[in-house]
Amino acid sequence: MKTFLRSLLFTSAAVSLAAVISTPVWAQQERVIRFGHLNNTDHPVSMGVKRFTEVLAAKSGGKMKVQEFPASQLGNELQQQSALQGGVQQMSAPATTSLAGIVKEFGLIDFPFSVTSFAQADALLDGPLGQNLISRLPEKGLVALGYWDLGFRNVTNSKRAITRAEDMDGLKIRVIPNPVFIDTFKAFKANPLPMPFTELYPALESKAVDGQENPFAVILSNKFFEVQKFVSATNHVYAANIILVSRKFWDELTPTEQKWMQEAADESRAYQRQVSRAAAQKAVADLKAAGMQYNDISPAELGRMRQIAQPVTERFAAQYDPAVVKLYRDELARISKQ
């Protein structure tokens, strides 16, 4: 009888264990992902979040749910970065420049006039350089799933059109709190003032600053046309967003769940870039319609601006890991031939 009971218990335990092992991932616990970002819901970053949400829900059978928190609801970029590192927040999509404080080589992406087209930008970020930078984040408590488009940054101001480098002389320009941006505008003899994005509109409205620099879609979405008269296509820096996940949250996921998240990021990337670049083109027309005075800058003058900013690039490059700087330069040489 005892032998029979032991056999029965063993069989029961084996069946239970087999049931656990064979339970499909879709039948496991639900995951709720708090995804925060700075942009409004009409911005291409928000559209990327929505596509990521849809793809992830489809892959997980609805078990992985994304809650979007747009418009800085969860704080500024650095506050959200800290929340990810602490495991309080699961995802965000900041500009890559916000990561330069923990992996300074991310500053390479901010070097002025380094790429001149979207194709070059994509090749740089999706290639060995972008992946090298991503590989440095896990030890900082973050995991990155790839890059989204933010666009080429352009200067607006309330004083005058910028058609040459000298037109920035003396202008108080709000910049991202990043040394590369600050020194680049100092090279143009502007007065760069770093401040959080959430403080920018009131600063422009009160004339505490004369201007700012952002991609066209950001300028439109945040209604800077209400407080700025001139928008000049300086295209001085290509800006990207990076899809970040809390390392603490990532490590809780099963390999299958991690795979779903990576695939959702990959599938949303092409869509987000397409939407973002179409929005940038439309934004120019909308900004003009809203009363802003738009101007292009000649290729010759952009080349001259590049030369003025070159010492800034060289100075910061000397502060970074030489191997990464070499990779960056090798990649620029490669993509310039495409």
Question: What is the pLDDT at residue 27?
Answer: 52
In sequence order, the β-bridge partners of residue 64 are 31
Residues 74-89: pLDDT tens digits? 999 999 999 999 999 9
Q: Is the pLDDT at 23 greater than 80, yes or no? A: no
Residues 88-145: pLDDT tens digits? 999 999 999 999 999 999 999 999 999 999 999 999 999 999 999 999 999 999 999 9
**Tokens in use for 164?**
């040459």
pLDDT confidence bin for 196, thresholds 50/70/90: confident
Question: What is the pLDDT at residue 175?
Answer: 95
Residues 6+ apart with CB under 8 A from 243: 52, 91, 93, 144, 145, 146, 147, 148, 265
CB 165 within 8 A of CB 308: yes
pLDDT confidence bin for 28, thresholds 50/70/90: low
Question: What is the pLDDT at residue 20?
Answer: 39
In sequence order, the β-bridge partners of residue 212 are 156, 174
Reported pTM: 0.87
CB 188 within 8 A of CB 266: no
Question: What is the pLDDT at residue 30?
Answer: 95
* HEC readout, 236-301: EEEEEEEEEEEHHHHHHCCHHHHHHHHHHHHHHHHHHHHHHHHHHHHHHHHHHHCCCEEECCCHHH
Sketch the domain layout of the chain as residue ranges: 29-335
Cα dihedral sign for 153, 127, 146, 140? Answer: negative
* pLDDT average, residue stretch 327-337: 95
In sequence order, the β-bridge partners of residue 319 are none
Cα dihedral sign for 215, 190, 209, 207? Answer: negative
| Residue of 37 and 179 predicted with greater confidence | 37
Question: What is the pLDDT at residue 187?
Answer: 98
d(CA 108, CA 96): 10
Residues 264-309: pLDDT tens digits? 999 999 999 999 999 999 999 999 999 999 999 999 999 999 999 9
CATH code reported for the domain at 29-335: 3.40.190.170
Say how far residue 228 (Cα) sits from the centre of its chain: 25
pLDDT confidence bin for 14, thresholds 50/70/90: very low
| Residue of 23 and 141 predicted with greater confidence | 141
| Mean per-residue pLDDT over the chain, rounded | 92
Q: Is the pLDDT at 5 greater than 50, yes or no? A: no
